[in-house]
Amino acid sequence: MAVHTYDVVVIGTGPAGESAAINAAKHGMRVAIVEKQTQVGGNCTHWGTIPSKALRHQVKQIMAFNTNPMFRDIGEPRWFSFPKVMEHSRVTIDKQVEMRSRFYARNRIDLFNGVARFKDEHTVLVRDRQEGMEELVAKKIVIATGSRPYRPADINFRHPRLYCSDTILSLSHTPRTLIIFGAGVIGCEYASIFSGLGVKVDLINNRDSLLSFLDDEISDALSYHLRKHGVLIRHNEEYERVEGDESGVIVYLKSGKKLRADAFLWANGRTGNTDSLGLESIGLEANGRGQLHVDEHYRTAIPHIYAAGDVIGWPSLASAAYDQGLNSSNELLEKDYRYVTEVPTGIYTIPEISSFGPNERELTEAKVPYEVAQAFFKDTARAQITGDTIGMLKILFHQDTLEILGIHCFGDQASEIVHIGQAIMQQKGEANSLNYFVNTTFNYPTMAEAYRVAAQNGLSRVF
């Protein structure tokens, strides 16, 4: 068995692992990274963020074609099968893998493909697919193994009609009807995708509203548009059992209802990938969801072993994972770092949603005197040109100081639009002001111009 010595060993090539490894390498460290899959990119590239968002984009294009009057002059509406749409989405995955592979080669990071397991606090064993073994010894180690869908033991995911958010990507047909259990971010995104393909979707939510952490107005708008596209939302429901047969799936709910569909998608929670790491060998313990606890330095209970990304839990976003990995690496390099606490929300439903900062409900509960500035996309020239008139931008600001407190956006390009408000919100002192948007010239026509329209709307409410 070959033994290799490094300054830093990173386990996982998702966003957290990639940023941690590259940052350490750029600062002169000898770095190795371990990936259990045959290609780099982690779950983000192969099972989560990239494939689902690429899939969403393809479906959105189909929907735009089928609803645009101009295209009716050249032909009738066209519908595509799920496998065909997924095939086009894989082009993006291949490009991501190629690009990220170059990153490791360019930074002279040694890549080991195989399953990592701790031998001791400074040693990681890597077993490849041919049962070969490599031993990596390091001064410092970063665990960035990500997460996978939580799969309850009482649901038979071996049945060919029962899927989780990973296995749904290998769906080989287009079901006429689909039951999605779990109306969180992943469940709502897939409800949008499948309804956009003409599939009738039952979305089962175990709470009383969709995505309750969102601004109430935007949560209501999401519910409306999902229903508009044929999604039947069932709130306050829990499953009793799920049974699959040769022709479909029956879901028995604790309320006494039973639902039948061609296929079933479980989209309720995720589990950290820690069970194969041999944590017992080093005295580390994951929580009930497989997640590791870290301090504000991203250190586990063993000071030279760090963790970042989905494996530490909140917020379980690729964007945050990249920053967490970077900052865990900065800390182990004894450089300036920050603990990531402020993260924009990006939800890629159709239309998409993004927000940064507290919502109206939270500000009201905190007794903060705020006012609302809003702009509706239907009133902006760019949206009228593109036809993406659904949605709005809402700015919450302090009544007295005009300090921007929160940005909430629903509609096309929401995840891009929110960053303008985020940038101003994070300025110091008087630079964080609603006046910025009134005193700044925006390109016309643009979606960003909604900030000027909203600011003027909000200032008219101040007295």
Question: Residues within the annotated binding site?
Answer: 35-44, 53, 145-147, 182-189, 269, 310
For the annotated binding site for NAD(+), the residues are 182-189, 269
- Residue 351 DSSP symbol: S
Q: Which tokens is 343 given?
A: 């993260």
The phi-psi region of residue 301 (left if phi > 0; otherwise alpha if psi is between -120 and 50; otherwise beta) is alpha
- 146 vs 291: CA distance, rounded Å: 9
Q: Is the Cβ–Cβ distance between 38 and 344 less than 8 Å? A: no
- Residue 331 DSSP symbol: H
As a whole number of Å, the end-to-end CA separation of the chain is: 75
- 213 vs 359: CA distance, rounded Å: 8
| Cβ-proximal residues to 214 (8 Å cutoff; 6+ apart), any chain | 222, 345, 347, 353, 355, 359, 408
- 356 vs 214: CA distance, rounded Å: 10
In the chain, DSSP finds a helix count (H) and a strand count (E) of 12, 22
- 345 vs 415: CA distance, rounded Å: 8
Angle at 78 between CA 73 and CA 84, to 5 degrees: 145
Q: Is the Cβ–Cβ distance between 260 and 178 less than 8 Å? A: no
What's phi and psi for 358, nearest 5 deg?
-70, 155
For the annotated binding site for FAD, the residues are 35-44, 53, 145-147, 310
Outline where DSSP puts E strands in 144-300.
147-149, 162-164, 177-181, 200-204, 231-234, 239-244, 249-253, 258-261, 263-266, 270-272
Looking only at the bridges linking them, the beta strands covering 162-164 and 263-266 are parallel
